[in-house]
Amino acid sequence: MKEQAKHINLKFENIPKVLQYIEFLSDIEEDDYIRYDKEREFEYTPQFYAFIQALFDTGLVENYEKLIEHVALGSENEHERCELFSQWMKTMNQTISRPCELRETDIHFIRRAFLTIIRMEKIFPGSWGIDVETGTWLRLLQRLKTLYESGEFE
């Protein structure tokens, strides 16, 4: 498994830094991750942006083309690719919300999930905050911690 993890360019020395965000996300309040201005426009906090950057710096965010290749299974039809991506999103969300299924995931699922969630912010501004509130980020980090501590990808 270690060779497989090297193939995806994980920076093992950075993983403990990412795992430190478990504490941040465990006891998080809205003010910890988002700020509003007078017009009720929002921006994420520097600490939350640092978390997102740490995911990228560690190699925990899948390459978009690799995700599409995995999800679309070589399909050339754009409509079919969109449908397959929608199915991936549904499956991903179900897996994350079901502890027994999440326990069966690997580092590849984690990386694809992080990419998908990160990209959703462009389509649905505020979705990162929803994922904070629903515990999605936290559950993925906890699964990452389990994989890391068990040597599943090191």
In tens, the pLDDT along 76-89 reads: 777 887 788 888 89
State residue 131's pLDDT score: 97
Q: Where does the pLDDT of residue 10 fall: very low under 50, low under 70, confident under 90, or very high at 90 and above?
A: confident
- 44: three-class secondary structure by DSSP: strand
Mean pLDDT of the chain: 89
30-70 tens-digit pLDDT = 999 999 988 888 999 999 999 999 999 999 999 877 777 77
**From CA 128, how far away is CA 113, in angstroms rounded?**
12
pLDDT at 7 (0 to 100): 52
Give Cα 72 to chain centroid, integer Å. Answer: 19
Q: Which residues contact 145 (CB under 8 A, 6 or more apart)?
A: 19, 22
What mean pLDDT is predicted for residues 95-120? 95
In the chain, which ranges are E strands?
Answer: 34-36, 42-44
pTM attached to this predicted model: 0.88
Portion of the chain with pLDDT greater than 70, in percent: 92
Q: Which pLDDT score, from 0 to 100, does residue 154 have?
A: 58
Distance from C-alpha of 136 to C-alpha of 69, rounded to nearest angstrom: 24
Q: What is the pLDDT of residue 3?
A: 41
The answer on pLDDT for 74 being more than 70 is no
